[in-house]
């Protein structure tokens, strides 16, 4: 089973996801991908930090919504990786102000990347995005 270690101090109280939503994400991943076990860190940052991380790790000097970092030592540590979300960008992207939907979508997207899914090629996107939509839909 996946466990999530959430750091959401920068998120305003009224915009934070309820603990139950994180538990539901874990449940749905457990149903869809039962063999996956380990911890994934979820951190919220501001635009400046996500831009810095994007520049350092992807050589792209721009704000992005989510970055994922898979661990090279998952077998030894039990830590699968980290997902970093720009809360500022999530607010801008949220449809009709539905920040909960946007955050869950970004978390699921990031977790799938940590687990090795990708969408660079059309055939990979055809597998990843329906799985993402399915997990988000079952979570909310």
Position 77 scores a pLDDT of 79
d(CA 61, CA 46): 15
Position 52 scores a pLDDT of 98
Check pLDDT > 90 for residue 109: yes
pTM for the model: 0.95
What percent of the chain has a predicted confidence (pLDDT) above 70? 100
Beta-sheet strands, E only, within 11-130: 38-45, 66-70, 79-86
> What's the CATH number where 10 sits?
3.40.390.30
Position 76 scores a pLDDT of 73
Position 106 scores a pLDDT of 98
Whole-number mean pLDDT of the chain?
95
| pLDDT tens-digit series, residues 68-79 | 999 987 777 789
What angle separates helix 19-32 from helix 99-114, to the nearest 10 degrees?
40
Domain of 39, in residue numbers? 2-139
For tokens 């466990």, name the residue.
3
Domain count, the chain: 1
């Amino acid at each position: 089973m996946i466990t999530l270690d959430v750091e959401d101090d920068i998120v305003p109280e009224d915009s934070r996801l309820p603990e139950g939503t994180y538990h539901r994400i874990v449940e749905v991943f457990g149903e869809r991908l039962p063999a996956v076990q380990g911890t994934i860190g979820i951190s919220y940052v501001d635009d400046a930090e996500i831009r810095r991380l994007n520049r350092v790790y992807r050589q792209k000097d721009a704000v992005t919504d989510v970055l994922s970092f898979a661990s090279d030592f998952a077998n030894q540590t039990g830590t699968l990786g980290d997902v970093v979300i720009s809360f500022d960008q999530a607010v801008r992207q949220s449809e009709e102000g539905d920040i909960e939907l946007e955050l869950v979508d970004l978390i699921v997207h990031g977790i799938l990347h940590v687990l090795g899914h990708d969408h660079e090629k059309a055939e990979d996107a055809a597998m990843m995005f329906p799985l993402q939509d399915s997990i988000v839909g079952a979570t909310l």
